[in-house]
Amino acid sequence: MILSAAYAWILPGLAVLAFCITSLFGKNLPYKGIFLPIAAALLGFIFFCLIFVDFISTGFNPSSVSIDWIVIDNLSITWGFSIDEISILMLGLVTFISLLVQIYSVGYMSGDPRISWYFAVHALFAGAMLALVLADNLLFLYFCWELVGLGSYLLIGFWFEKKAASEAAKKAFITTRLGDVGLLIGIILLFKATGTFHIPSIIHAAQEGAIAESTLMWSSLLLFLGAMGKSAQFPFHVWLPDAMEGPTPVSALIHAATMVVAGVYLIARMLPLLQMVPGFLTLVAIVGLFTFLFAGIIALVMTDIKKILAYSTISHLGLMILTLGSGGLAAAMFHLLVHGFSKALLFLGAGSVMHGMNGESDCWKMGGLRRNMSVTGITFLVGCLSLAGIVPLSGFFSKDEMLLSIYEGLGPIFLFITLVGVFLSSLYMIRLFCVIFIGEHRSEGAKSSHESPRVMTYPLVILAIFGTVLGILALPLPFGDFEGLGNFIDSKHHFHLSPWVTPLSLLIALAGLVIGYMCYGYPKISHHLVALRFGYLYKLTVSKFYIDELYQWIIDKIVLSAARFVSIFDRVVVNDTGVDGMGMSVLLSAFKVRLIQTGKLYNYGAAMGIGIFFMAVMWILVSN
Amino acid sequence: MEFLSFSNPAGLVALPILGCFILFFIPGHRANLVRWISTIFAFAVLIISFYFFLSFDHSEGGRQFIYEYEWLSLIGPWGESQRAISMSVGIDGIAVTMVLLTGIVMFTGTVVSWNINVNNKDFFILYFLLLSGVFGVFIAYDLFFFFFFYELSVLPMYLLIGKWGSSSKFSSFERTKEYSAMKLTLVLVAGSVLIWVAIIAMFVQSGTGSFHIDEIQKVIPDKFSSEFQSAFFLMLMIGFGILAGLWPFHTWSPDGHVAAPTAVSMVHAGVLMKLGAFGIIRVGMTLLPEGAQIWMPLLIGLGAVNVIYGALSAMGQTDLKYVIGYSSVSHMGYVLMGLGTLSLVGLNGAVLQMFSHGVMTALFFAVVGMIYERTHTRDSLVLSGLAQKMGIIAIFFTLAGLTSLGLPGLSGFAAELLIFIGIFQSYEIWGIILGSLAVIGAAITAVYILRLLSKVFFGLPDDTLPEYLDSTRREKFAASILVIFIVLVGLWPFPFVKVIESGVEPILLQIVGAG
């Protein structure tokens, strides 16, 4: 037990230290201080390997440690770190991808005047994300949850001179913040019921029946709301496609592999709690399933390379949520890992393409790029096929486990609808690949495009290799007591294949590939005709079902109008009428009262007479 | 010469007054000398307030650094009383936090006021006078002097705004600085009248012939009936509430903030509004515990109105200073809600929020002052893309904004979190409803702050505006001090919480005991 949770805080600590030094003094350091965050990421990865080895050698012993942050009365808020199977998996994903993305960024961001700020915020994000997956209590988790949101905000808005970037950053923060309102209320409700923020204690209390049913229901719902915001589930999905305004490596790290899966992670952590609420997991599954299909359809018609990947991310997050809804903790976490690697690979590949195309991101202006950038092309194909779920790539294994879990947990109807999504998934993936890399050059830029430097292609190769071999983690080792990753995460889970689900899903994925290739790679079917045939539907889909417009309308017409109404009400009614009116009434009555002072003796005499008369009457009344 | 001791809190009042005297004898045209002397005095006060904070022993708790001087004895039905009116000073856990806040805001306010060129000697004299009053309120344990200092901290505002302030003109209406100064003073004086009546009533009803809080406190169970407490707590709550920005008596505050010069806005929103909340604790909750129990549900409800109403109003504004002015109304709502929970956690959060909001809003106003000085406009519809030319200023504003919307790691989160938990734990189902409203208020804050950031700082700069210069060293220095405290409290609030707890606990025990 050399490196237990007692030292786990070093992981985020290093990153945060790198953030502080680089953001404050980056400009004065050699190479603008960008080596510090990279060094922190490298040390973090090495540290993860040590923890991992240690964890395995001590026989999977979860451990935890905490420091008091605020203690008042019976309220104790701690910064607690714990290491168990799920956090190990997340640590591996976060440290590895963030290291690769930072190395890649050296090439991608070279020459940017604010490069040290870029790397500093990367380090801040990594630190917060690492702390998030290590947190053993909900409040500390929320603390980091908001900080990763900050990292995302700052990096989406990195090129803040661009109007679109600053708008997108704002939209991302506010949309996720809406979910976070729910999350925080949910956390406090659970605290109110149990007197603790500690996750295992809360789950224990729930299983003991110490939490009232209504509280349990509400807090589950509110926690789920938070997860929906962060993981871009319908109807909170709108921020993620816009977030693509940030630099592409940021999209790879934050908006594909790590931050957006925080919601999935939260649900995975709280799954025993959610299971206590009758029927709740079905709701989770329905939200996931709807998002899976909804985003998949939109991904099919987008033309911007990064937007396609963004919708694909939303779609796969939905798939993970759906799997969690079926109770498949192990399968969902496995896909989280696989998707993280594959999607990071695809985003970095997209970045490489855009780098070679001088920033062009419309894939209909590309075409035939496989001749100009072969490394990017091959690695991109690996990523696409993996996410399409083609054997023997890792995506095949994770998808298979998820489908089995959905079938066993939710029944055949859910399975068949999910298979539609699987078809969509492989269809838009192959479409993306074909349009970019196959066929003729569709523009001058495509003709003159070039392969990216090695500092960018090597991370692609590494990710592609991992994307290929990660799948075998699903299989039990023939020796030792490792029974596959699923079993590692959830000891109840055992790897198995189904005689008909596995071939069927593979067949459907292959069908998607073939049809996609026939449409876009080797034109047998004209996709223009398809679009024309379903013109109305096509327009609806391209406009993303007008969800963004709906939100804009709500903000402009309802929220801002309410704000304007309140501010005018405050000025005109409360201030000008209430406050000034009171002042004016004093002034006016003073004018009136002034008239009594006429200066004429007989007026005063009359007033005096009346006064004496009334006093006399009162005297008589009182004395009787 | 015991009273000259370094640990005599009266020094906090005396030192700014001494500064006034010295400034009085400096020729007005020697503007730089005036600046330096003011800065040195403000720095000395900052050091002393630090000293009090660091040497305050929270494990012992209660009131510390006690000094007392007889001032006047009164003869009445109670015979010749001791401590009739005495200059009794002392500092408890709540006051020491507020003293530190005042020290910080006073010093940074002095530093940013270096740019005042018109009669800066008179400005600093009034400014110091105002602050000596503020310190006096925090340390006084005698109701007479409490009220005396309370008035002293309100009245110089009239001159400061009237002379060094600025008027604003909008398309449909205008707010002259004279109007704002007049309204501020009259409304606050109206509040003072309520407070003074309540104080006299308590003095008479107690029959001790003493204005000392301890003397009155001794006879609460015997002399103060529930009806008496109920009637006069309401009076105090409204009287102090006016200064704390309690809805619907808040309209003096945004107009006042906007009209005031930068440093005065900083003190005004940063410290002065806290006097109101402090008064509710020090006078209301301490001396009328049963009254507090009766009226706190109303306070928490009005606080919730403050939070939501203030945040929505802030969203509807276009002038930067109005946005921040209304955000102060909204944030003071959290303080009032925290007081209204009558729980250790909630009260602790309220006092921490007073500190946090004080530092944060001081930073806000300092930064807006810097922007106004360079661009000569505060209209968010005109300004755009400032981040490109004023990077450092943009970072400071962003930090203040993130604190305002309750980002973890910055002071606002720690304070608001305690308040939220306090609200949720009190008042059964209403606690949950009001607590949810409070959390939603923080989300609305995020909306208007981020809109403002995006509009004013991001995007491309407007070329028709003059070439901007980024902040000077002096400005960076002042803003950095505020940032350090924001981050410190945000990351490590425990020392503050422990100090505040030692002050809040005895007051709360008394209220719980009374009910």
State in Å, rounded, how far the first CA of chain A is from the last one: 100
Neighbours of A124 (CB within 10 A): 26
pLDDT digits (tens, 9 = 90+) for B438-490: 999 999 999 999 999 998 888 887 776 667 677 788 888 999 999 999 999 99
As for the ipTM of the complex, it is 0.92
Asked if A181's CB is within 8 angstroms of B439's CB, the reply is: yes
For A561, residues 6+ apart whose C-beta sits below 8 A from its C-beta are: none
Residues A145/A230, Cβ–Cβ less than 8 Å? yes
The letter for the amino acid at B300 is I
Residues A216/A186, Cβ–Cβ less than 8 Å? no
CA atoms of A383 and A483, how far apart (whole Å) = 26
CA atoms of B335 and B346, how far apart (whole Å) = 9
Asked if A143's CB is within 8 angstroms of B345's CB, the reply is: no
Answer whether residue A536 shows pLDDT above 90: no
Longest CA–CA separation in chain A, Å? 121
**Which tokens sit at A620?**
């008589």
Nearest Cβ partner for B439 among A69, A71, A185 = A185
Looking at residue A1, what is its pLDDT? 47
- The Cα of B231 is separated from the nearest Cα of chain A by a number of Å equal to 23
Best A114, A223, A571, A585 residue to mutate vs chain B (most B CBs within 10 Å): A571
Q: Give how far Cα B237 sits from Cα of A74, A78, B24, Å.
A: 29, 35, 38
For A275, residues 6+ apart whose C-beta sits below 8 A from its C-beta are: A281, A327
A304: closest CA among A229, A357, A228, A341? A357
Percent of chain A at pLDDT > 70 equals: 98
Residues in chain B closer than 8 A to A69 (CB atoms): 492-494
The owner of tokens 């001159």 is B159
The owner of tokens 């420091």 is A67
Nearest Cβ partner for B313 among A146, A570, A583 = A570
CA atoms of A232 and A292, how far apart (whole Å) = 11
Answer whether residue A437 shows pLDDT above 70: yes
Q: Torsion over CA of B201, B202, B208 and B213, rounded to 10 degrees?
A: -140
Higher pLDDT, A475 or A107: A107
Looking at residue B2, what is its pLDDT? 55
Asked if B407's CB is within 8 angstroms of A72's CB, the reply is: no
DSSP state of A238: T
Looking at residue B515, what is its pLDDT? 52
Best B315, B390, B396 residue to mutate vs chain A (most A CBs within 10 Å): B315
Compare all CA atoms of chain A with the CA of B434 and give the residue at the minimum distance: A185
CA atoms of A366 and A520, how far apart (whole Å) = 13
Given a cut of 50, the residues of chain B with pLDDT beneath it are 1
Nearest Cβ partner for A567 among B317, B414, B440 = B317
DSSP string, A269-317: HHHHHHHHSTTHHHHHHHHHHHHHHHHHHHHHH--BHHHHHHHHHHHHH
pLDDT digits (tens, 9 = 90+) for A379-406: 999 999 999 988 888 888 889 889 999 9
- The Cα of A117 is separated from the nearest Cα of chain B by a number of Å equal to 12
Residues in chain A closer than 8 A to B348 (CB atoms): 72
Nearest Cβ partner for B458 among A166, A570, A580 = A166
Nearest Cβ partner for A574 among B251, B459, B460 = B251
- The Cα of B24 is separated from the nearest Cα of chain A by a number of Å equal to 36
CA atoms of A404 and A426, how far apart (whole Å) = 19
Nearest Cβ partner for B493 among A70, A75, A146 = A70
Mean pLDDT of A235-249: 91
Asked if B408's CB is within 8 angstroms of A174's CB, the reply is: no
- The Cα of B71 is separated from the nearest Cα of chain A by a number of Å equal to 38
DSSP state of A135: B
Q: Which three-class secondary structure state does DSSP give residue A80?
A: strand
Residues in chain A closer than 8 A to B435 (CB atoms): 185, 188
Compare all CA atoms of chain B with the CA of A71 and give the residue at the minimum distance: B494
Asked if B408's CB is within 8 angstroms of A147's CB, the reply is: yes
DSSP string, B225-267: -HHHHHHHHHHHHHHHHHHTT-TTS-THHHHHHHHS-HHHHHH
- Per-residue buried b or exposed e for A48-72, using 16+ beta carbons within 10 Å of the residue's own CB: beebbebbeeeeeebbbbbeebbeb
For B450, residues 6+ apart whose C-beta sits below 8 A from its C-beta are: A170, A173, A174, B401, B405
Q: Give how far Cα A415 sits from Cα of A398, A409, A501, A505, B391, Å.
A: 15, 10, 9, 10, 53
Residues in chain B closer than 8 A to A562 (CB atoms): 312
Confidence of residue A476 (pLDDT cuts 50, 70, 90): confident
Asked if A146's CB is within 8 angstroms of B407's CB, the reply is: yes
Asked if A160's CB is within 8 angstroms of B409's CB, the reply is: no
Residues A79/A47, Cβ–Cβ less than 8 Å? no
Asked if A181's CB is within 8 angstroms of B435's CB, the reply is: no
To the nearest 10 degrees (0 to 180), the angle between helices A262-276 and A329-356 is 160
Nearest Cβ partner for B187 among A157, A160, A579 = A579
- The Cα of B394 is separated from the nearest Cα of chain A by a number of Å equal to 12
Residues in chain B closer than 8 A to A173 (CB atoms): 446, 450
Answer whether residue A2 shows pLDDT above 60: no
Compare all CA atoms of chain A with the CA of B405 and give the residue at the minimum distance: A177
Looking at residue B4, what is its pLDDT? 64
Compare all CA atoms of chain B with the CA of A555 and give the residue at the minimum distance: B447
Compare all CA atoms of chain B with the CA of A580 and give the residue at the minimum distance: B183
Q: Give how far Cα B243 sits from Cα of A371, A430, B247, B278, B441, Å.
A: 73, 66, 11, 10, 21
DSSP string, B104-130: HHHHHHHHHGGG--SSHHHHHHHHHHH
CA atoms of A578 and A598, how far apart (whole Å) = 32
**pLDDT, mean over chain A:** 88
Residues in chain B closer than 8 A to A579 (CB atoms): 183, 187, 251-252
For A580, residues 6+ apart whose C-beta sits below 8 A from its C-beta are: B183
Mean pLDDT of A424-451: 87
| A75 Ramachandran zone, left/alpha/beta (phi>0; psi -120 to 50) | beta
- The Cα of A147 is separated from the nearest Cα of chain B by a number of Å equal to 7
Residues B421/A188, Cβ–Cβ less than 8 Å? yes
Nearest Cβ partner for A570 among B251, B402, B448 = B251
pLDDT digits (tens, 9 = 90+) for A177-211: 999 999 999 999 999 999 889 999 999 999 988 88
Q: Torsion over CA of A115, A117, A120 and A124, rounded to 10 degrees?
A: -130
- The Cα of A426 is separated from the nearest Cα of chain B by a number of Å equal to 38
To the nearest 10 degrees (0 to 180), the angle between helices B120-139 and B155-164 is 150
